[in-house]
Structure 1
Amino acid sequence: MRKKILIIIPLFLITGISIYLYSYKGHRNIESETADYTVTVKGLEKEFTFNDSLATAKYQDKTIEVTAIVTAVEPASKGIVISEKIFATFKDSLPKDIAIGRMLKIKGRFLGYDELLQEFKIDQSSLVHQNK
């Protein structure tokens, strides 16, 4: 009986520590990551139209870069809409000088496609380049 207890207790400790470390792993720094994919809005639309399940599996929680024109700025939510199809939120605040009609390149974590609003969602966005 004592031998079983000496085996079971370390097993529970190892399992508990493993679950804790998996659940509370460090946060990603999307800004410093290299983009997994560089995409266009039309390319995303095409892939999601062809097979949305496959496209979701490919891009979900990946870092992507997109170059497009700003079509709306939403300061209250720290977000922008680019090419009327992608809603991107920034981590801290909107970068300065973002204006409707400007071409920019952003990098962020792809969250998915919102069928209700018919737009792609990106969070933790950062400005890579902006044409003035």
Structure 2
Amino acid sequence: MIIQFLHFAFRQESTEEQRNRALKLIRDISAVESVSFAVHGRFIGDPAAGYSHAYSFGLADLDAVERYMYDPVHLAHDPEILPHLAKLHVGIAASDDPDPNLFTKITQIYQGKVARHPEWERLMASIPEVRIG
């Protein structure tokens, strides 16, 4: 199992309706076939970190990571979500996979998505503050 997370904050100029829509779309993504479980809601970590929301999810293995990254629902919803984010941290919280190269392999899947979907890379680059890892 690979546990990933997103911590994020919305842009000040995003309306409440746009924020609610983005949160609904995240819930839709969390329901795709490759996701074993998911939790989404308000960020309860250090307020000084500047995040307002969090999304954690479990993916069974590397195949599930790849299916998740390329799931049509995920690909379709990101263009509606990402433009409303002011700050995003994407990370891997834990895994029971003993492969010492697991993080590198997940990074390669991410890099493959960037190569195959340059518009997604532009969307990610439009977020003022992004941290991956």
TM norm. shorter chain > 0.5: no
What's the TM-score once normalised by structure 2's chain length?
Answer: 0.27
TM-score, normalisation: structure 1: 0.27
Higher relative helix content: 2
Choose 1 or 2 for highest CA Rg.
Answer: 1
Give the structure, 1 or 2, with the largest relative contact order (CA under 8 Å, sep 6 or more). Answer: 2
